[in-house]
Amino acid sequence: MSVAADWLGWLFLLDDQLDEGAVGRDPVATRAFLRPLTTVCGEQPQRRAHDGGPLSDALRDIWRRMAAAMPLFWRRRFARHLLEYLEGCTWEAANRALHRIPDLAVYPSRRRTAGAIWPALDVLEFVAHAPLPDRLLADPSFAEMCRAAADVICWTDDVLTVGKERARGDVHNFVIVLEHATGCTAEDAAAEVTRRIDRRLGDFLAGERRLAGVLDALPADPEVRRHAAEYVAGLRNWMRGHLEWGLRTDRYQVTGTAGTDPGYLENLS
């Protein structure tokens, strides 16, 4: 659990640097800032080199501890998801530089990637000591259940943070995207995103009901069944926990102007 806490702390720190600092408004600077991180998860778990600054050193330490406990197929999946997240950060920086609001049709999938939800959910498997085989994750019903949970988490975050993000001029928020695409009011956009969250929660629950049949069809041995049950319970806890935390934390009440006032950003030089 301590490794997972370190991972989430690292992720929030990086997210703040890009969302609220000047570097996240320049795609060239963002790519250069992230470059030292792109090689870490390709390293062997036992490597202990320190050569990329505090962010990459911290990621390397987290990666070493996670990778040592997880099978190769999980390590490859996590590394792929992390690289996709880092590329998503560059996409967001380009949007900020161009003052470009994402297209409604592509936003949901981009939100999952740029929001780091996939590597974050990979860590559920690590915490539960329950790595899921690729063949289960590739099953269409199971994959859709996971996407539904990811959307609930990401879109709930957007509803909770829209005030802060609007104040700092960020455009990567489903409420803002929907408002821009349809011309509706901010209140109507927030209500529609909330309705879509409810529908995606229904999709998750439908996938959960189909899970036994999916496992029978694989077929899944008792260990895979246990791992799947623990993972789905983790998805449930994450959806609920993220809402509860988001309603209580002061993090989403900060409304300073990003890119002009360093605020609470750490000095990572």
d(CA 34, CA 18): 10
Closest CA relative to residue 17, chosen from 66, 50, 54 = 54
Range of the domain at 165: 101-268
Q: Are residues 161 and 89 in the same domain?
A: no
Question: 94 and 196: one domain?
Answer: no
CA distance 135 to 214: 11
pLDDT at position 42 over 70: no
Alpha carbon separation from 104 to 27, 118, 176, 212, 239 (Å, rounded):
21, 20, 10, 34, 23
Which residue in the block uniquely carries the two structure tokens 């609470």?
Answer: 264
Whether 46 has a pLDDT exceeding 80, the answer reads no
184-214: pLDDT as tens digits: 999 999 999 999 999 999 999 999 999 999 9
Task: Return the structure tokens found at 24.
Answer: 């996240």
Per DSSP, the three-state class of 264 is coil
pTM for this entry: 0.91
What is the reported pLDDT for 82? Answer: 95
Averaged pLDDT for residues 136-142 = 98
Domain termination site, one of 100, 127, 147 = 100
Q: What CATH number corresponds to the domain at position 120?
A: 1.10.600.10
Regarding whether 63 and 25 lie in a shared domain, the answer is: yes
Please give the structure tokens belonging to residue 194: 């909330």
* CA 20/CA 111 separation, integer angstroms: 17
